[in-house]
Structure formats: structure tokens, C-alpha cells
Amino acid sequence: MNYSKIINTKKASIFLFLLTSVFPLAAQDINIEEIVRKADEKFRGTSSIGEMTMIIERPGWSRTVSMKNWTLGNDYSLIYITAPAKEKGQVFLKRDKEMWNWVPNIERMIKIPPSMMMQSWMGSDFTNDDLVRESSMADDYSQKLLGEEELEGLNCYKIELIPHDDAPVVWGKVLMWVSKDELHWLKAEFYDEDAYLVNTEILSEVKKMDDRVMPTRMEMIPADEEGNKTIIIFDKIDFNVKIDESFFSQQNMKRIR
């Protein structure tokens, strides 16, 4: 009997057992849906009040817009433009799937129809649909881990998101990069139904905002317009504040300051 061969076989079996016990397959241990949910929820709360700056950059010029923002869940949002002077006082209201715009200069309330939802919001690279976006990256998409990549010196999960058939989304696919340590959403690529890249979103400048740490700078870069991008900077946000549904009314659009 070849005792040496038996011993070596036993050693190999024990090593294989220890290897699979101590270092199980990563795909089995990683809950991709939970990772996406935690990254997405850093930007959400039951409600919020904030101040933001939007910088629209084009080849040869740029424009800055300042605003205040109130939200309640995913169904209610109100944005008040505070600068520049030409657009100060404009208000955008979202209630459920409807969107309204109050223009004080002409004292007119405008309902934004579904046909205009994919049009540019205030000349930026964000659309009207981006403002009323109810989609949750965790609930409205199926998630698949594609692998890991380094982004800005951070190890990240690279995740593919495919929308469910009944999801209220416009994208055919989203690629998302989430940092492994703090689960910060750092990058996303948005593709249309024909798998063409439309926009790239870059998130950076991670800071403490109220009760959480989150990226506070968001860049939206269109794929087919070289030199164009829009930057949104979250200057201040208070999460989970008390706001009633009645705050988000057409009457309040005319009174808010």
C-alpha cells in the first residue's frame, strides 16, 4: 500500500476543505441588492430640506443656478430658484407623477406634459424626468455583480442594473460603481434601450451631511456632446424633517421664499 500517496491525498482534501470554509466564494457572500439599496438610500430620507448649486458648463461659457429644495418621500418635491436674478422666484413642483412650473415674471402656472419629461431642465444636462424620478435602484432594477474595479483610488463593486419590465424608468441598462468600504455611489453610466451610452454620472467630495456621510458633488456628462456637463453641489441638507403633504401645493408655489 502506498501510504505516502494516501497521506498526500488526505492533506490535499483537508487543505481544500479549509480553503472553501474560510474563503467562501465572493458571489455567495455579497448581497448585491442590499449594497445598491444602501448606496441609493444615502441620498434619500423620509423628507429633506436642502440648498443646492447647479453649474451648467458649455464650451466657452458657464451658468450658475442656486436653489432650495424640499422633499417628502419619493412623491413630493418642491424646488425654489434663488439665483440668478433673471430666474429667481421660479418654482418647480412634483406631486406623484405630475410636474408644475410657476413663472412669477408672467404670473403663469405651467403643467409640464409627459411629452416634455425628457427635455432639458433649465438648460442643464438633467431632464425634467430626473426631477420627478421615483425609481429605486434596488426595487426597480435587477442587479448583477460584474466584478470589482478601482475608481479614484478606491476599490469598487461594478454592478449591472437591468430594469424590471413594469418599472417606471427610461433606461435600458445602468452600470453602477459603489465603493466597497463605505458603500458610496461614485459613478453610473446610463444606457438607452439600444445599449448606447447616453449619460455618465460622477459623484465625489464625500462629506458629512446632517446624519450621514455621502457624496456632495454630482456631475452629469452627456456622451454625445463634447465639452458639456452639469454639476450639482449639495451645499446643505437636513434629512427626516417634519413637512406635511399640504406644503407641496400650487398655492404654496406662489408664496414660498
Beta strands in the chain (DSSP E): 47-58, 61-72, 76-83, 91-95, 98-103, 108-111, 141-151, 154-163, 173-179, 185-191, 197-209, 212-222, 229-239
Asked if residue 176 has pLDDT above 90, the reply is yes
39 neighbors 184 (Cβ within 8 angstroms): yes
Buried b (16+ CB within 10 A) or exposed e, 8-41: eeeeeeeeeeeeeeeeeeeeeeeebeebbbbbbb
Cα 142 from Cα 174, distance rounded (Å): 10
> CA separation (Å) from 65 to 61, 105, 250?
14, 17, 22
SS3 117: coil
Residue in 57, 51, 4, 35 with CA at minimum distance from that of residue 219: 57
Percent over 90 (pLDDT), the chain: 69
187 neighbors 151 (Cβ within 8 angstroms): yes
Cα 167 from Cα 174, distance rounded (Å): 13
pLDDT for the residue 133: 65
31 neighbors 14 (Cβ within 8 angstroms): no
Mean pLDDT (whole number) for 9-30? 44
Residue in 120, 77, 119, 123 with CA at minimum distance from that of residue 97: 77
78 neighbors 253 (Cβ within 8 angstroms): yes
| Residue 119: other Cβ atoms inside 10 A | 10
80 neighbors 67 (Cβ within 8 angstroms): yes
186 neighbors 156 (Cβ within 8 angstroms): yes
pLDDT digits (tens, 9 = 90+) for 121-170: 999 998 887 776 656 788 889 999 999 999 988 999 999 999 998 887 88
> pTM above the 0.85 mark?
no
Q: State yes or no: cis peptide before 84, omega within 30 of 0.
A: yes
pLDDT for the residue 140: 86
Confidence category of residue 108, pLDDT binned at 50, 70, 90: very high
Mean pLDDT (whole number) for 222-244? 95
pLDDT for the residue 134: 59
Domains, the chain, ordered by start: 32-255 (2.50.20.10)
